[in-house]
Amino acid sequence: MYMNAIDDFVTKLPKAELHVHIEGTLEPELMFAIAERNGIALPYASVEALRAAYSFRRLQDFLDIYYRGMGVLLHEQDFYDLTWAYLEKARSQNVLHAEIFFDPQGHTVRGVAFETALDGIWRALRDGADRLGISAKLILCFLRHLDADDAMRTLDQALAYKDRIVAVGLDSSELGHPPEKFKAVFDRARAEGFLTVAHAGEEGPPAYVWQALDELGVARIDHGNRALEDDALVRRLAADKTPLTVCPLSNLRLCVVDDMAAHPLAEMIERGLFVTVNSDDPSYFGGYMNENYRAVADALDLSRDTLAEVARNGFEAAFLTDAEKAALTAKLDAYLASA
Ligand code: HPA
Ligand code: ZN
């Protein structure tokens, strides 16, 4: 199919996003606006200078800038504005459902209350449902570079908000911070009724993916690229239909892959893995959902049918009831019948 036809197909394709860090959707323009109203001086002269700093050789290079960027977020309204901007963008790209990570420890370490972040995000999600018709779930991520006690205290704070938080996850600096470090935290989270996910196999070895499955009991693996190095692990993931939330532009920008043409998404599909496509930190990595779908469609020459299956996987892997999934998948089927 001609590229412009695939572009059009992807643009209108109903999609679910299952791997997006709300703090990673903070666009430079909004970062400057919030910094100004909060009286915070940014170490960049302009939006352009800030964007020019988005050149990363590895995950940690990005994280250093990401944590600094979220430092402008102080008030409930800041978190509302951040989340609302993401939801409008997602809706404009035919994202019907989003499962959104937030990093409360990135805020509480700066003296911003857990509730300030949660209330602002939550109010925007409710407005997103009412005014944009976009459904959303919230996933609390623990920062793995901090210790397990800090994560446990964060879990304590989340217990009062089981109605707002569907799952807990694990993000930040992967190497040197294996999932097993958080086994007790995740055991407790599951006992309290939270679902669990974890970033694993982005930079870390296959052993971290095994640990996420066996020690943390995760329902999905975030990234999972390096699982391909271990045949037994690939068989396990395929047999269990464990969803992988793959993030192509993130992988390119963080040098997890050298070239989009070398992205493992096609190999993952070929080897029977249950993959989804997601944006991760779209403000920092050069694209939202449509740009990620287009990047892999183009570089890997994916067919319309393959792209439709990836979109279907997104709805199937969501933390929704069967009835909710069926309603969303029906919209996908209606689109495919008409496209
Ligand atoms: N990897 C790990 N931690 C993160 C990421 C990521 O891509 N984005 C935000 N926190
Ligand atoms: Zn991520």
Collapsing DSSP to helix, strand or coil, 96 comes out as strand
Which residue among 20, 26, 59, 101 is best mutated to probe the pocket of ligand 1, counting the most ligand atoms within 8 A of its Cβ? 59
> Tens digit of pLDDT for each residue in 244-271?
999 999 999 999 999 999 999 999 999 9
Q: Which residues are catalytic?
A: 202
> Tens digit of pLDDT for each residue in 49-91?
999 999 999 999 999 999 999 999 999 999 999 999 999 999 9
Orientation angle between helical segments 289-300 and 3-12, nearest 10 degrees: 150
Ligand 1 pocket, residue 199 CB under 6 Å: yes
Res 1 pLDDT > 60: no
Distance (angstroms) between ligand 1 centre and the Cα of 139 equals: 13
Helix (H), strand (E) at residue 170: strand 165-171
Q: Please tell me the predicted confidence (pLDDT) of residue 300.
A: 98
Q: Tell the residue number behind the tokens 């047999």, with chain if given.
A: 239
Res 105 pLDDT > 70: yes
Res 125 pLDDT > 90: yes
The closest alpha carbon to 219, from 202, 183, 201, 194, belongs to 194
> Which residue's CA is the nearest one to ligand 1's atom 2?
172
> Tens digit of pLDDT for each residue in 284-323?
999 999 999 999 999 999 999 999 999 999 999 999 999 9
- Give the number of domains in the chain: 1
Q: How far does CA 166 lie from the centroid of its chain?
A: 14
CATH at residue 331: 3.20.20.140
Collapsing DSSP to helix, strand or coil, 39 comes out as coil
Ligand 1 pocket, residue 222 CB under 6 Å: no
> Tens digit of pLDDT for each residue in 194-245?
999 999 999 999 999 999 999 999 999 999 999 999 999 999 999 999 999 9
Which pLDDT band holds residue 3 (cuts at 50, 70, 90)? low
Res 2 pLDDT > 70: no
Helix (H), strand (E) at residue 101: strand 95-102
Distance (angstroms) between ligand 2 centre and the Cα of 144 equals: 12
Ligand 1 pocket, residue 172 CB under 6 Å: yes
> Tens digit of pLDDT for each residue in 181-195?
999 999 999 999 999
Q: Which residues surround ligand 2, an ion (CB under 5 A)?
A: 280
Which residue among 56, 143, 145, 171 is best mutated to probe the pocket of ligand 1, counting the most ligand atoms within 8 A of its Cβ? 171
Res 4 pLDDT > 90: no
3-state helix, strand, coil in the chain (%, to 5): 60, 15, 25
Distance (angstroms) between ligand 2 centre and the Cα of 279 equals: 8
Ligand 1 pocket, residue 281 CB under 6 Å: yes
Q: Give the C-alpha separation, 241 to 255, whole Å.
A: 27
Helices (H), the chain: 3-12, 28-37, 47-52, 59-69, 76-92, 105-108, 114-127, 148-158, 183-191, 206-214, 231-240, 248-253, 265-270, 282-285, 289-300, 304-316, 322-338
Q: How far does CA 92 lie from the centroid of its chain?
A: 18
Q: Please tell me the predicted confidence (pLDDT) of residue 261.
A: 98
Collapsing DSSP to helix, strand or coil, 324 comes out as helix
Average confidence score pLDDT of the chain: 98
Collapsing DSSP to helix, strand or coil, 181 comes out as helix
Closest ligand to residue 174's CA: 1
DSSP annotation of 271: T
In degrees and rounded to multiples of 5, residue 274 shows phi and psi of: -95, 95
Q: Which domain holds residue 223?
A: 2-338
Which numbered atom of ligand 1 lies nearest the CA of 21?
A: 9
Which pLDDT band holds residue 122 (cuts at 50, 70, 90)? very high
Distance (angstroms) between ligand 1 centre and the Cα of 172 equals: 5
Count each helix (H run) and each strand (E run) in the chain, helices first: 17, 8
Q: Tell the residue number behind the tokens 């939550």, with chain if given.
A: 122
> Which residue's CA is the nearest one to ligand 1's atom 7?
280
